[in-house]
């Protein structure tokens, strides 16, 4: 008889949500997490001035229903990201011209979303291949490729086109995805979800081996063994691939897992004495067309003033592993170029390099790089009962976001409840 009804591996938002939903339904669950903290790609650190900042997932908007409900249920009041004033474009263009370019880039994004997933003309294409076939001005093509590098954090000549179109179809916000954030950090919200689980959560428990049969699973973390009737792997696909399965997963599932690759991202928090850009009529947002994959916006709140800078895609890979002082110099140079000398007047630069992260992959989400793997997400969503997969990547809405992780965790829990996990629990009570 298995010890647990359901074991969930991975205490990011997907795993925390699945565990919490199942526990609420009376199911006997155990959540195993490799790190000494919960949150996965949502984590926080404390700056020298005592301010706690999100060093991973942070922003959201009113169009993300699950997260908005959770935030409200936990009594949190979001901070609106400062949006008064002009955005800076680099290399410099007049704001109106910059906004017009981004309108055209958005229109190209709509054209991508409107493609038919089973169109034979799209078979085998990468994103770069598809862009090259569009009759569009060169600066719009470049702007679109820059957007892909910044958001999906991998080179467009590697990302499968039908994957990106399908992924973007599920990102339906009409308000900016950076509309708001939590002053007390998104990571604290993960901590509150975990607190509810009590001793049903085990930290510092890296799972390495899974033995499975129709009757259940045996899970190994070093010499520790756990057993359950069902398993949810709430891990990014690249992290699932590191596990040993006995027997090996069926070939189509193994192929579906191999279709993914990690993105690359570095998140930089730059602190100032005050948000000086506001006095200059600027909102703090900087959109770089060059170098590609760089973006900044205002994260000031209460008594704290600062800008967050995202370095994504090949640019992050280029900076990964280089000496920190050199990266600081690059950040300072870019901000002086954007804001003038005041940009150099920093109190602190905090760098979190996610490239090569051992547990959560290297960016906001893993991406599909095998253009032939058109059913990879369907295969993983079907799972190999009693093994189920849940991570933000697989969500039916907002994949690659915190919202997506909650959706994926909720959907996995619902699937297990529908398959009888609750009756297992009642049997053991
Ligand atoms: C720098 C950065 C900025 C981001 N910014 C935003 C943002 O502003 N807004 C937004 O909505 N999203 C953002 N995201 C994306 C968002 O954070 C993620 O999409 C989401 O949190 C993923 O959740 P998850 O539960 O699917 O996976 P993860 O958070 O990756 O959780 C997986 C968990 O599994 C654990 N694990 C892995 N392997 C094992 C193992 N073998 N055994 C046990 N445990 C294991 C990991 O430690 C981790 O805790 C950002 C991500 C990053 C990295």
Whole-number Cα distances in Å, 66 to 101, 401, 409: 32, 11, 11
360 in a structural domain: no
39 C-alpha to ligand 1 centroid (Å): 7
Six token digits for residue 167: 């992924």
CA distance linking residue 142 with residue 236, whole number of Å? 29
- Taking the CA of residue 409 as reference, the ligand 1 atom at the shortest distance is 25
CA distance linking residue 353 with residue 318, whole number of Å? 12
**Of 169, 195, 218, at which residue does a domain stop?**
169
Residues 278 and 347 in one domain: yes
CA distance linking residue 179 with residue 106, whole number of Å? 18
284 in a structural domain: yes
> Domain total for the chain?
3
Residues 221 and 250 in one domain: yes
Residues near ligand 1 (Cβ within 6 A) = 9-15, 32-35, 40-42, 56-60, 206-207, 234-236, 239, 265, 267, 354, 359-360, 363-365, 391-392, 400-403, 405
Residues 336 and 269 in one domain: yes
221 in a structural domain: yes
Residues 34 and 48 in one domain: no
Residues 51 and 113 in one domain: no
**Of 109, 141, 169, at which residue does a domain stop?**
169
Residues 269 and 335 in one domain: yes
pLDDT (tens, 9 = 90+) of the chain, 429 residues, equals 789 999 999 999 999 999 999 999 999 999 999 999 999 999 999 999 999 999 999 999 999 999 999 999 999 999 999 999 999 999 999 889 989 999 999 999 999 999 999 999 999 999 999 999 999 999 999 999 999 999 999 999 999 999 999 999 999 999 999 999 999 999 999 999 999 999 999 999 999 999 999 999 999 999 999 999 999 999 999 999 999 999 999 999 999 999 999 999 999 999 999 999 999 999 999 999 999 999 999 999 999 999 999 999 999 999 999 999 999 999 999 999 999 999 999 999 999 999 999 999 899 999 999 999 999 999 999 999 999 999 999 999 999 999 999 999 999 999 999 988 765 544 443
32 in a structural domain: yes
Residues 349 and 266 in one domain: yes
Residue 102 sits in a domain of what CATH number? 1.10.405
Residue 343 sits in a domain of what CATH number? 3.90.660.10
- Beta-sheet strands, E only, within 171-213: 180-182, 201-202, 209-213
Q: Let me know: does 246 contact 210? Beta carbons within 8 Å.
A: yes
Residues 340 and 267 in one domain: yes
Ligand 1 atom 4, closest CA = 57
Please tell me the predicted confidence (pLDDT) of residue 422: 60
Ligand 1 atom 15, closest CA = 364
Please tell me the predicted confidence (pLDDT) of residue 164: 98
72 in a structural domain: yes
Let me know if 326 is exposed, middle or buried by CB neighbors in 10 A (0-12, 13-18, 19+). exposed
162 C-alpha to ligand 1 centroid (Å): 23
Please tell me the predicted confidence (pLDDT) of residue 361: 83
Rounded (10°) CA dihedral 395, 396, 398, 404: -30
177 in a structural domain: no
286 C-alpha to ligand 1 centroid (Å): 25
Q: Which of 208, 235, 297, 312 to mutate to test the pocket of ligand 1 (most atoms within 8 A of CB)?
A: 235
pLDDT, tens only, 5-32 = 999 999 999 999 999 999 999 999 999 9
Give the torsion sign (CA, 126, 132, 135, 137): positive
184 C-alpha to ligand 1 centroid (Å): 18
CA distance linking residue 264 with residue 314, whole number of Å? 7
Residues 270 and 347 in one domain: yes
Q: Which of 31, 40, 197 to mutate to test the pocket of ligand 1 (most atoms within 8 A of CB)?
A: 40
Residues 255 and 394 in one domain: yes
Q: Does 144 appear as a known binding residue?
A: no
Q: Does 6 appear as a known binding residue?
A: no
Q: Does 393 appear as a known binding residue?
A: yes
231 in a structural domain: yes
Residues 267 and 349 in one domain: yes
Q: Which domain holds residue 234?
A: 4-40+186-261+369-418
Residues 283 and 250 in one domain: no
54 in a structural domain: yes
Distance of CA 113 to the CA centre of its chain: 20
The DSSP result for 308-371, as a single string, is: EEEEETHHHHHHTTS-HHHHHHHHHHHHHHHH-GGGG--SEEEEEE-TT-TTT-SSSS-EE--T
Residue 374 sits in a domain of what CATH number? 3.50.50.60
């Amino acid at each position: 008889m298995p010890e647990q009804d359901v074991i969930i591996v991975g205490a990011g938002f997907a795993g925390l949500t699945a565990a919490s939903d199942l526990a609420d339904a009376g199911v006997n669950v155990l959540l195993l997490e490799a790190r000494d903290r919960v949150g996965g790609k949502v984590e926080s650190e404390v700056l020298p001035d005592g301010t706690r900042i999100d060093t991973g997932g942070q922003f959201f908007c009113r169009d993300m229903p699950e997260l908005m409900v959770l935030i409200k249920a936990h009594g949190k009041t979001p901070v609106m990201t400062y949006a008064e004033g002009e955005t800076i474009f680099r290399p410099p263009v007049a704001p109106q011209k910059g906004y017009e370019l981004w309108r055209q880039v958005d229109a190209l994004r709509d054209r991508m979303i409107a493609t038919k997933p089973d169109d034979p003309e799209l078979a085998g294409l990468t994103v770069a291949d598809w862009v090259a076939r569009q009759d569009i001005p060169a600066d719009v093509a470049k702007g679109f490729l820059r957007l892909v590098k910044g958001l999906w954090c991998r080179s467009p000549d590697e990302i499968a086109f039908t994957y990106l179109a399908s992924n973007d179809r599920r990102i339906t916000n009409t308000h900016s995805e950076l509309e708001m954030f939590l002053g007390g950090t998104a990571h604290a919200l993960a901590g509150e979800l975990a607190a509810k689980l009590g001793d049903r959560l085990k930290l510092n428990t890296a799972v390495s081996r899974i033995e499975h049969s129709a009757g259940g699973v045996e899970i190994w973390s070093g010499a520790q063994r756990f057993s359950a009737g069902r398993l949810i792997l709430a891990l990014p696909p690249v992290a699932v691939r590191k596990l040993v399965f006995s027997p090996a997963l069926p070939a189509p599932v193994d192929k579906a897992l191999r279709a993914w690759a990690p993105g690359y991202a570095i998140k930089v928090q730059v602190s100032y004495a005050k948000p000086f850009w506001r006095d200059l009529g600027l909102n703090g947002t900087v959109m770089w067309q060059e170098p590609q994959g760089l973006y900044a916006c205002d994260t000031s709140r209460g008594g704290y003033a600062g800008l967050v800078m995202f370095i994504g895609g090949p640019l992050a890979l280029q900076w990964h592993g280089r000496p920190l002082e050199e990266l600081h110099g690059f950040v300072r140079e870019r901000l002086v170029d954007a804001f003038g000398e005041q940009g150099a007047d920093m109190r602190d630069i905090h760098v979190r390099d996610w490239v090569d992260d051992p547990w959560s992959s290297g960016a906001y989400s893993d991406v599909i790089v095998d253009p032939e793997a058109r059913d990879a997400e369907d295969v993983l969503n079907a799972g190999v009962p009693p093994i189920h997969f849940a991570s933000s990547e697989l969500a039916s809405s907002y994949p690659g976001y915190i919202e997506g992780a909650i959706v994926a965790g909720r959907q996995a829990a619902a699937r297990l409840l529908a398959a009888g996990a609750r009756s297992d629990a009642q049997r053991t009570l």
